[in-house]
Amino acid sequence: MLDVRSKARVTRRAIFLPIALLVLLAVLSMVLSVTQGSVALSPSAVWQALQGQGSILNQTVVMELRLPRVLSAFATGGLLALAGALMQILLRNPLADPYVLGISGGASVAALAAILLGLTGLLMSGMAFIGAALSTLLVFGLAGQLSHNSTLRLLLTGVVIAAGWGALITLILALAPPDKLPGMLYWLMGDLAYAHTPWLAWLVLVPVTVLLVPLGRSLNLLARGPMQAAALGVNVKGLERLVFIVASLLTAVAVTTAGSVGFVGLVVPHMLRLVLGNDQRLILPASALAGGCLVTLADTLARTVIAPEQLPVGVITALLGVPTFLYLLQRGRV
Amino acid sequence: MTWLRADQLVVAIPGQTPCSEHALTIDFKPGEVWGVLGPNGVGKTTLLHTLASLTTPAMGQVMLDDTPLKDLHRTHIAQQVGVMFQAHQDGFPATVFETALLGRFPHLSPWDMESEQDLALAEQALAQLDLTSLVQRSLSTLSGGERQRAALATLLTQQPEIWLVDEPTNHLDLHHQVAVMALLKEQALRQKTVIMSLHDVNLAAQWCSHVLLLYPDRAPIWGRAETLLTQEYLEPLYRQSLAVTEVNQRPVFVPVAQVYKSID
């Protein structure tokens, strides 16, 4: 009986250990990422630069170039993985992901429209949020009554909505004045080269992750079906609405930070579930941390693999994500 | 002691106009085992869902200890009222043990972790339903009858005062049918209230103290099982001629291939 209990993974200890490990991994990946680049720096040089010592060049590289980018990368990954994990609960389908379902597309269109209108900062994030929320509503409304054959319906809906946003993106690009084009293109590729302000992303990521933990058990129930959840005392409508808003918000902030980076929300929660089971009290914070690590490392790779040239990080995540997606579909775990 | 009361209750069935003459006013008392009988589509499942406040009634209300269900917090209802569904929803993959443990949800606050006691309750429930050897199996790999028992284990772990059970013997082999009915009867002996929908009149005759007969075309009737489970009431219920015999002093009904003629 003892092994049953340990595998049920419901003790505080069973949640604490993987999280502690992932925090360590997160710190290590960020340190690694700051040290790597067109100029490799030793960890001690980075440490000095962080304290305002060492050469001016090192300080500039660390404080103004690498640190904001690394922090942005981590927060983007965390936001996307968390958004993916939440959407998977909401739609009770492990293939749900902000990118696959066209949610990122909606946020991108709104963000591009914001650039076109000359909006920046919070206004642009607000627009992206509306775009993301609109997309989620569409996916919900069209694939909403999830019964049998839901996977097919969900994916088709997502694909069609993503295609619709794609057309709008092309339209906006065609209409945009040439001086705004380069700035716009980065949204579409998912690139962190322009990400200089990680603070909004962190301000959203950290509190949301912490506040989701006490909701974890309700979300566990929701993942099992709305009727069962309601019968056991969950306010299903309220919870679904909350998850929907939070997932849209997370996606919108991620898109305003780094453009549309794909498949993080799909790959990360799935991998974690294989190892850690499916208790949301563990999976949600673990997704935030592991998603951060993944995008941080992917961006490090993107900056170094053909240095001094840089790849958009979205290329790396898509190269990881597409095989995972196909594998999932093939195995029929949906 | 928790009382559930249907007060002038008419359930909302899609595509049917509610009729106040068909209203139910029933006290479901602790220690009673109720069987809800009626033909397909008459609203047995909807009634159970309405009694659990999962569906809003068309007319009237459901009271839990003199408070209307709609005025109670959902968690509070779930501490008292447990439901087992007929159709099992396919959500995310989960193990049998996790499924049983879900029953503790209404008894824990958000920051609580399941205690040793909660885990022990889930283990006991699984043992009582013959599922100990399957605890680590994924629910999706189980047979229909095993899933049915896992769902009952969740209810047993929940330990509600009122048990609403939709077709408890669906998919079950004969041995487990008897085991499950005995388990439900045992709850009634512990002063819980059990309300179940049944297709099999003979199970109702053997295990239920009270029955509620839901007719498609006239007012429902309810009362003690031995009074109502007769050809007189059951033949119009199913529009089917029945032959009756007796086993262990309980009636046993057998459908016969004779054309049923309505008296009215």
- Give the pLDDT confidence of B6-15 residue by residue, as tens digits: 999 999 988 8
Q: Write down the pLDDT at residue A13.
A: 74
Q: Write down the pLDDT at residue A224.
A: 86
Cα B52 to chain centroid, rounded:
11
Q: Which of B79, B11, B86, B17 is nearest to B50 (CA)?
A: B11
User: Does the pLDDT value for residue A145 go beyond 70?
Assistant: no
Taking the C-alpha atoms of residue A171 and residue A176, their distance in angstroms, rounded to an integer, is: 9
Nearest CA in chain A to B135: A4
Instruction: Read off the pLDDT of residues B123-146 as tens digits, 9 standing for 90 and up.
Output: 999 999 999 999 888 888 888 889
Helices within B164-229 (DSSP H only)? 174-189, 201-207, 225-228
Taking the C-alpha atoms of residue B105 and residue B102, their distance in angstroms, rounded to an integer, is: 6
Q: What does pLDDT average to over chain A?
A: 84
User: Does the pLDDT value for residue B172 go beyond 50?
Assistant: yes
Determine which of A75-79, A122-126, B163-167, B240-244 has the lowest per-residue pLDDT on average: A122-126
Question: Which residues of chain A does B95 touch, with a Cβ-Cβ cutoff of 8 Å?
Answer: 7-8
User: Does the pLDDT value for residue A142 go beyond 90?
Assistant: no
Q: What is the mean pLDDT of residues A21-44?
A: 89
**Residue whose structure tokens are 């008459």:** B42
Strands B221-224 and B210-213: antiparallel
- Would A229 be classed as within a structural domain? yes
**What's the structural domain count of chain A?**
1
- Would A184 be classed as within a structural domain? yes
Question: Could you tell me if A313 and A261 are in contact, meaning their C-beta atoms sit under 8 angstroms apart?
Answer: yes
**Residue whose structure tokens are 């092994």:** A3
- Would A151 be classed as within a structural domain? yes
User: Does the pLDDT value for residue B87 go beyond 80?
Assistant: no
- pTM assigned to the model: 0.86
For chain B, list the domains and their CATH numbers: 4-255 (3.40.50.300)
pLDDT band at B90 (very low <50, low <70, confident <90, very high): low
pLDDT band at A241 (very low <50, low <70, confident <90, very high): confident
- Would A204 be classed as within a structural domain? yes
pLDDT band at A5 (very low <50, low <70, confident <90, very high): very low
Q: Write down the pLDDT at residue A7.
A: 45
User: Does the pLDDT value for residue A125 go beyond 50?
Assistant: yes
The single-letter DSSP state of residue A252 is H
At position B83, the amino acid (one-letter code) is: V
Size of interface A-B (CB pairs under 8 A): 86
Tell me, what CATH number does A184's domain have? Answer: 1.10.3470.10
User: Does the pLDDT value for residue A213 go beyond 60?
Assistant: yes
Closest CA–CA distance from residue B261 to any residue of chain A (Å): 40
Question: Could you tell me if B237 and B213 are in contact, meaning their C-beta atoms sit under 8 angstroms apart?
Answer: yes
Determine which of A179-193, A266-280, B64-78 has the lowest per-residue pLDDT on average: A179-193
Instruction: Say yes or no for a CB contact (<8 Å) between B91 and A92.
Output: yes
Q: How far is CA A310 from CA A33, A37, A298, B122, in A?
A: 14, 10, 12, 54
Taking the C-alpha atoms of residue B201 and residue B215, their distance in angstroms, rounded to an integer, is: 14
Question: Could you tell me if A325 and A119 are in contact, meaning their C-beta atoms sit under 8 angstroms apart?
Answer: no
* A contact test, residue of B64, B98, B138, B159 with most A CBs within 10 A: B98
Strands B33-37 and B210-213: parallel
User: Does the pLDDT value for residue A57 go beyond 70?
Assistant: yes
**Number of other CB atoms surrounding residue A147 within 10 Å:** 9
Determine which of A224-238, B28-42, B182-196 has the lowest per-residue pLDDT on average: A224-238
Q: What does pLDDT average to over chain B?
A: 91
What ipTM was predicted for this assembly? 0.89
Interface of A with B in 82-121 (CB under 8 A): 88-89, 92, 94
Question: Could you tell me if B145 and B171 are in contact, meaning their C-beta atoms sit under 8 angstroms apart?
Answer: yes
Q: Which of A291, A258, A134, A98 is nearest to A192 (CA)?
A: A258
User: Does the pLDDT value for residue B44 go beyond 90?
Assistant: yes
Q: What is the mean pLDDT of residues A43-70?
A: 84
At position A155, the amino acid (one-letter code) is: L
Instruction: Read off the pLDDT of residues A73-113 as tens digits, 9 standing for 90 and up.
Output: 999 999 999 999 998 888 887 878 888 888 888 988 998 88
Q: How far is CA B79 from CA A126, B75, B157, in A?
A: 41, 6, 11
Chain B residues with at least one Cβ partner in A under 8 Å = 52, 54, 74-79, 82-83, 85, 89-95, 97-99, 101-103, 105-106, 108, 110-111, 113-114, 119, 123, 135-136, 158
- Would A215 be classed as within a structural domain? yes
Q: Write down the pLDDT at residue A61.
A: 82
- Would A26 be classed as within a structural domain? no
Q: How far is CA B233 from CA B38, B132, B229, B239, B262, in A?
A: 11, 42, 7, 10, 12
User: What is the residue range of A201's domain?
Assistant: 68-330
Q: What is the mean pLDDT of residues B29-56?
A: 94
Instruction: Read off the pLDDT of residues A250-271 as tens digits, 9 standing for 90 and up.
Output: 988 888 888 878 889 988 998 8
* A contact test, residue of B46, B75, B86, B92 with most A CBs within 10 A: B92
Proportion of chain A above pLDDT 90, given as a percent: 27
Taking the C-alpha atoms of residue A222 and residue A216, their distance in angstroms, rounded to an integer, is: 10
- Would A107 be classed as within a structural domain? yes
Rounded to 5 degrees, what angle do the CA atoms A180, A182, A188 make? 110
- Would A128 be classed as within a structural domain? yes
